[in-house]
Amino acid sequence: MDYLAFYQQLKKKTLQKVYLFEGEEEFIKESALSDLKKALLLGPMAMMNESVLLNPQDSDLIAVCETLPIMEDRRLVIVKEMTQLSGRGSAKNEEDEGAEEEEDKPARKKSDALSSYLSKLPDTVCLVFFARGKARGTSRLYKKIKELGGIVSFDQLEGESLVKWVAREFKGYGLLIDRQTVEHLTFACGKDLMVLKGEIAKIASYAQGQTAVTAKDIDKIATLSVDYKVFDLSDKVADGLADKALPLMEEMLRSGEQRLMLLALLQRHYRQLLFTRIMMDEGQYQSAIAGELGLPNFVARRLMNSAANYTSNQLKTAYLKCIEQEFLVKSGQIQEDGSLEQLVYALIDISRKGKGKARA
């Protein structure tokens, strides 16, 4: 089930005996665990009815699950860093069921014992296995929890779900935000909800007195991701804006960004520009370009505006220059120091020569 289905169970008070929380969205996962605690641990003995175990032995886990709650209907048992689910132990223990060596059989019996016990969990316990990221789906323990319907997936929010979450967070501060500005925010700061929550708080404080948040507010106050800064740099380079591109490049280098990484990201940007120009020549619209490149619409629009200043051959020349510069550095033919600066000057020169010659 996804986390929304879990919250439905929480709302209806139809909680299962065992769950496995897994997935990349750590913020919602932590929030769900917190909400589960609030729902289950209500009385004055709440702390006595919660147990948190780190990679326990099966016998210890079973003993805790068999312990009756105090003045409550159920106790909550949370298991973190379980080797059988994280895959940090021997992969041989559980993955190759038909190819076990004699010495692996005790480990298999251990795993089977816990898996068998899950079917006999008492009604007085809610057992939650909490995995960082994705759990190891090949393990017997994982398969047993899945068989019992206890897998809860916390995947990173995308599309409409992410837009609604961001809008709801800003609404809590009395501010509105439209879809395009949400896309700008998530492109500028990333999609990690823990990071976004902090950025939203900063932006909301800055925008107090307004009715809505703007892209300018985000650029002014948010901590921008490296990807976004490189996109901004690439945008300015592609537009031939040396007076804005060069100070931005120097600022990024002073902040500790590595030249090789920036070279690679510049190369990616010019590849996107080239594909954008080719699709524009084929008569493709913004939505089709955004879909093909897997980018938000406003990013595709910015790419189209930049690509309109070039022909596809000019962009091919620029893209090949990016590839060549990275190769020269990695092969030791030129020093890494100064390599980014050389490339940026060369790309600005290509942009200036291309101005006015491209067909929109």
Q: Which of 260, 322, 19, 61 is nearest to 2 (CA)?
A: 19
Pairing outcome for strands 151-153 and 125-130:
unpaired
pTM above 0.85, yes or no: no
With CA atoms as reference, report the closest residue to 154 among 189, 199, 188, 192. 192
> Which pLDDT score, from 0 to 100, does residue 127 have?
94
Other Cβ atoms within 10 Å of 352 Cβ, number: 11
Inter-CA distances, 15 with 58, 68, 146, 252, Å: 23, 18, 15, 50
Give CA–CA dist 43/45, Å, rounded.
Answer: 5
Question: In this structure, which long-range contacts are made by residues 241-250, counting pairs with CB atoms below 8 Å and at least 24 apart in sequence?
Answer: 242/348, 245/344, 245/348, 246/344, 249/340, 249/341, 249/344
CB 309 within 8 A of CB 352: no
CB 76 within 8 A of CB 41: yes
Cα 20 to the center of its chain, rounded Å: 20
Q: Which CATH class is domain 3-153?
A: alpha beta
Within 8 A by CB and 6+ apart from 283, the residues are none
The C-alpha atoms of residue 144 and residue 150 are separated, in whole angstroms, by 9
Topology annotation, domain 159-221: Helicase, Ruva Protein; domain 3 (1.10.8)
pLDDT below 70 — which residues of the chain?
A: 87-111, 354-360
For residue 153, the cross-strand partners are 2, 22
Minimal CA–CA distance to 78: which of 52, 58, 57, 102?
Answer: 52
Q: How many CA atoms lie within 13 A of 179 on its CB side?
A: 7
Cβ distance 272 to 303 under 8 Å? yes
- Residue 288, number of CB atoms within 10 A of its CB: 13
Question: Which amino acid is present at 348?
Answer: I
Classify domain 226-354 at the CATH topology level: Zinc Finger, Delta Prime; domain 3 (1.20.272)
Q: Quote the pLDDT of residue 169.
A: 93
Two tokens, residue 209: 């007195």
User: Which sequence spans correspond to the domains of the chain?
Assistant: 3-153, 159-221, 226-354
pLDDT confidence of residue 97:
43
